[in-house]
Amino acid sequence: MNQILTNKLLLDIGGFFVSTTMNTIKKFPNSKLAELFNGNYSLELDKKRRIFMDRNGKYFEYILDGLRNAKLILPEDDFLRKKILEELKFFELNELIEENKLIFEKPVLSFDVKKCGMGIKFSENDTVIEKIANSNTYSEILGKNSFKNNVVQWDITILSENTNWIVIGVADLNEISNDFMGGNNDKGYGISSEKQFYRTSGVNSKDFKINETYTIFLDMKNNELKIKGPDVDVKNEKSIVGKELYPFVILYSVGNSVKIGNFKIKE
């Protein structure tokens, strides 16, 4: 089939059946999707004589609505967004990618279960981290995703009475040693429950207490890191421009477990 004469199109996108028009498909004439329908390609037909494309129709549905409305409405789910972005790149729909660049680049805050020290337990859809009692070791918990040029902020709430030692902040993995928060060689940027600051300066804090919430604000383009909370207002004293920083937490428990959580990116 070398040429399509009608404006109406019946498509079979990996088992997802849809009716649309040639005008919609060619909304962005420089895209690969439009090029496939310019008459120079042989397009496969299914048994119902629908044009078959071996792609995932669940994600194509969002793209088709974007073409119809010249505006892409994306789901909240980060996994779905990534899959939709893959399809947009495959079809070279660069205009839709560019228009939604900030949404696709939205920072994600999650911690990597595989990169945790001993005695760490996650719960409540990985939004609560607990260091179990009597583990008698420091446990570092690193984020899955790094921040390079982002402007982002997130909250961490203290969920236990025991705050024997808690550190919150960001860290450059290229600078981390075995004891990256120790002495004068600290590599992280943050604050701990024992009134210690790491590459930050500001107002001294009292010890963390249960139900207190601390906000970490990061603007790497403008070299700004702030951590705020009850009696806490600190900022970075060394440059973070050009670095790749990961959210991190360090927990240490003696006698009772120590728990933090409800961490989430703030809009």
pLDDT tens string 63-105: 999 999 888 888 877 678 889 999 999 999 999 888 877 566 6
pLDDT for 23: 93
Neighbour tally for 150: CB within 10 Å:
16
Going by C-alpha positions, the residue among 42, 25, 21 that lies closest to residue 33 is: 25
Going by C-alpha positions, the residue among 128, 157, 119 that lies closest to residue 252 is: 119
DSSP state of 75: -
pLDDT for 104: 66
Please tell me the distance from the alpha carbon of residue 217 to that of residue 8, in angstroms, as a whole number: 51
Helix locations, the chain, DSSP H: 22-25, 32-36, 57-69, 78-90, 94-99, 101-104
DSSP-derived pairing of the beta strands 224-229 and 232-236: antiparallel
Do the beta carbons of residue 210 and residue 186 sit within 8 Å? Answer: no
* Distance separating the N- and C-terminal Cα atoms of the chain: 49
Going by C-alpha positions, the residue among 3, 10, 8 that lies closest to residue 51 is: 10
Q: Give pTM, 2 decimals.
A: 0.60
pLDDT for 183: 46
pLDDT for 18: 93
pLDDT for 187: 66
pLDDT for 19: 93
Going by C-alpha positions, the residue among 221, 215, 224, 225 that lies closest to residue 154 is: 215
Amino acid (1-letter code) at residue 95: E
pLDDT for 143: 83
pLDDT for 232: 84
Q: What stretches in the chain show pLDDT beneath 50? A: 1-5, 178-180, 182-185
